[in-house]
A and B are shown apart, each in its own frame.
Chain A
Amino acid sequence: MTTFFEPRQLVSPGTLLAEGNYQPGFNVYRDDGKYYASMVGLADIRNNVISVIPLRGCYIPQPGDVVIGKVVECISTAWMLDIRSPYQGVLFASEFLSKPLNPLKEEARRYLDVGEMVVATVMAFDRTRNPSLTARDHGLGKIHRGTVIDVDFTRVPRIIGKKGSMITMLKKETGAQILVAQNGRVWISGKSRDEEAVIAEAIRKIEAEAHTTGLTDRVREFLVNKRR
């Protein structure tokens, strides 16, 4: 039972992390009783589980994730959504409308057209089929107003912050509605376009300086200065 890394040490694929009786977590694989990193990131151990917090990568859907999808295709009773992942999300009409949709009588495009944005959660995904989404829960559904920006998906935890500290601060300072989706999209709805632009700029700042200390305070300062 030995580990070969300092907590939060930068590791790259193939780096030997540990040997012995551990559990492989995210971005770690086991080979012949040894644990190696499979991605570039920061090594971490919690409750005997070794994982690597990724610094690069693409979004892989997980059941339960809240995502923001952009409609790319309307099929007779479903929509295909770009969710910034290698796999497109499928949103069936029954998971979006409260009533069944008869494709003989009406077109799916009447409800949701190409280019429109939807907040949804991932219902199921196992990589053999495209992830199926649902928008039939509270707070989900088509986006009617506000701004949606794309951010690096590895920065999502930072935009939320420890126990939601960053996002709480952003909402408190601006009074806007902000939703950070797991797939690296942020929906901002403020009083005006200008206000939304300022928040978007603040989020860009978080993204760029994700790994520096005292970021929450600096972002607050940034927002206060902009308000003046």
Chain B
Amino acid sequence: MSESKIERLISEDGIRCDGRRLDEIRPIKFQLGVLKNTDGSAYVEWGRTKILVGVMGPRESHPKHLALSDKARVEAYYRMASFSVEEWKSPAPSRREVELSKVIREALEPAIFVEFFPRTSIDIFIEVLQADGSTRCASISAASLALVDAGIPMRDLVASIAVGKVEGKLVLDVQDKEDKAGESDMPMAYMPSKNAVTLLQMDGQITHDEFLQSIELLKKGCIEVYKKQKEAIESHFKSAVSNGEEA
């Protein structure tokens, strides 16, 4: 009896192994402007996941032949520190890191007014310091704040979160343990004020009904993340609002 209790990820009254309800997100803390040598930066603590993002640009594209004549070239570099996971991670870029870089870039590019800066490049450097699931979601959410901090014009902030299926139940904001034991994982990136989805992935198996339920749950979660992002922006720039005189 006691043994089975330890193995269960969700208790009978719907409480998850870290004490959250099924549709509860982890505590999220965003911070802007943490780095000096970048144009914009953000740091996020998403439960036990810790990520640092730096943005450089828009700046002259190098090498020049890669510059696009009609828009800025957006590039994301997702990297996990060797100490970010339980086992040591090889510092060489893995297949997964390359893929996530592409996926994150494609989730952020629709939000950026890339056509404002033809022939330039915008580089987004993402360093995962500690990984505990949903690193792509945390990276996208933090990167959109770093872009705001860099003063790059955007349509909306991109908020991102994942829904998983664990022990037959849909859970919001999957952590590493649930991701590994669960039946499916579905991250989404979303621009709430545009009602536009910029990233939707899924692995594992779910039914059509569960998919529709997941979408609703994801939107709800993204809006919660979006609120946290706005709070972070407000607290970072609040000194600017205090009745200043401007030319």
Contacts and interface: CB of A to CB of B under 8 A. Distances in A.
Given A86-B59, A162-B247, A56 B193 contact: no
B240 A211 contact: yes
B247 A42 contact: no
A128 B156 contact: no
A129 to B, nearest CB: 9
Contacts of B237: 10, 40, 55
B230 interface: yes
Interface stretch (B8-16, B82-90, B147-155, B214-222): B147-155
Contacts of A86: 57-60, 117, 120
B225 interface: no
Among A12, A29, A163, chain B packs the most CB atoms within 10 A around the CB of: A12
B80 interface: no
Interface string A22-62: 00000101010000101110100000000001111110000
A38 B151 contact: no
A124 interface: no
A53 B246 contact: yes
Nearest to B39: A58
A85 B90 CA distance: 38
A13 B194 CA distance: 11
Contacts of B154: 13-14, 38-39
B233 interface: yes
A228 interface: no
Interface string A140-154: 000000000000001
Contacts of A127: 116-119
Interface in A2-23: 8-10, 12-16
Interface string A62-90: 00000000000000000000000011100
Contacts of A154: 151
B204 interface: no
Nearest to B60: A86
B59 A210 contact: no
Interface in B192-247: 192-194, 230, 233-234, 237-247
Contacts of A56: 40, 148-151
Contact of A161 (B118, B238, B242, B247): B247
B234 A10 contact: yes
8 tightest A-B contacts by CB? Answer: A57-B151, A14-B156, A211-B244, A56-B151, A157-B247, A13-B154, A38-B153, A86-B58
Given A58-B58, A86-B117, 15 more contacts: A10-B238, A10-B241, A13-B155, A14-B156, A27-B153, A29-B155, A36-B155, A39-B148, A40-B233, A40-B237, A54-B151, A56-B40, A58-B39, A86-B57, A127-B116
Interface of B: 39-40, 57-60, 69, 111, 113, 116-120, 148-157, 191-194, 230, 233-234, 237-247
10 contacts: A10-B240, A36-B155, A39-B153, A56-B40, A56-B150, A86-B58, A157-B246, A211-B242, A213-B243, A215-B245
